[in-house]
């Protein structure tokens, strides 16, 4: 199975760390959203979309990419995110958008990540030290379950 992980990681590299962990554990290709050549997506059987969360939303780079997705047949996808709170509800809007493109969502992952966005900066941020080793192990386990199913 050929896997691609696409991510946007802007402030602290939290999402990039999780994306790398997943990619390494399942031998996936990995690329930052801004470097993706959209016509290469057909080469992959499974595609992951990941982002940090900004004002309860995925980064605009991922949102714009999903808007521009070409017709992809028989593609499975998964979603992952990092945020100060690590809430799974942040992944739901992206799931809905991907379903509009008739993509099969086979998993969703989230974990906490150090966050100094907006008002959190005034307090020194939240979720310091995250993602941590447990988060990395959970990301690895999640990715391995995706390709074994």
Cα of first residue to Cα of last residue in the chain, in angstroms, is 11
- List domains and CATH numbers for the chain: 3-148 (3.40.50.360)
Looking from the CA of 100 toward its CB, the CA atoms found within 13 Å total: 11
Max CA pair span of the chain: 46
| Bridge partners for 83 per DSSP | 112
Region of 90 (left: φ > 0; alpha: ψ -120 to 50; beta: rest) is alpha
46 neighbors 74 (Cβ within 8 angstroms): no
Q: What pLDDT shows up at residue 5?
A: 98
Q: What parts of the chain have a pLDDT lower than 50?
A: none
Q: What pLDDT shows up at residue 119?
A: 66
- Cα–Cα dist 18/14, whole Å: 7
pTM: 0.93
Q: What pLDDT shows up at residue 36?
A: 96
Q: SS3 sequence, 75-93?
A: CEEEEEEEECCCCHHHHHH
Strands 57-58 and 46-54: antiparallel
């Amino acid at each position: 199975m050929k896997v691609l992980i696409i991510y946007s990681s802007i402030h602290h590299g939290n999402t990039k760390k999780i994306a790398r962990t997943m990619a390494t554990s399942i031998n996936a290709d990995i690329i930052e959203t801004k470097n993706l050549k959209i016509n290469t997506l057909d080469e992959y059987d499974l595609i992951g979309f990941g982002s940090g969360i900004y004002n309860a939303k995925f980064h605009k780079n991922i949102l714009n990419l999903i808007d521009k997705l070409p017709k992809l047949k028989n593609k499975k996808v998964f979603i992952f995110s990092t945020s100060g709170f690590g809430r799974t509800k942040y992944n739901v809007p992206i799931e809905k958008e991907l379903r509009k493109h008739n993509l099969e969502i086979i998993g969703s992952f989230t974990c906490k990540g150090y966050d100094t966005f907006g008002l959190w900066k005034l307090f020194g941020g939240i979720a310091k030290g995250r993602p941590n080793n447990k988060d990395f192990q959970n990301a690895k386990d999640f990715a391995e379950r995706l390709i074994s199913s």
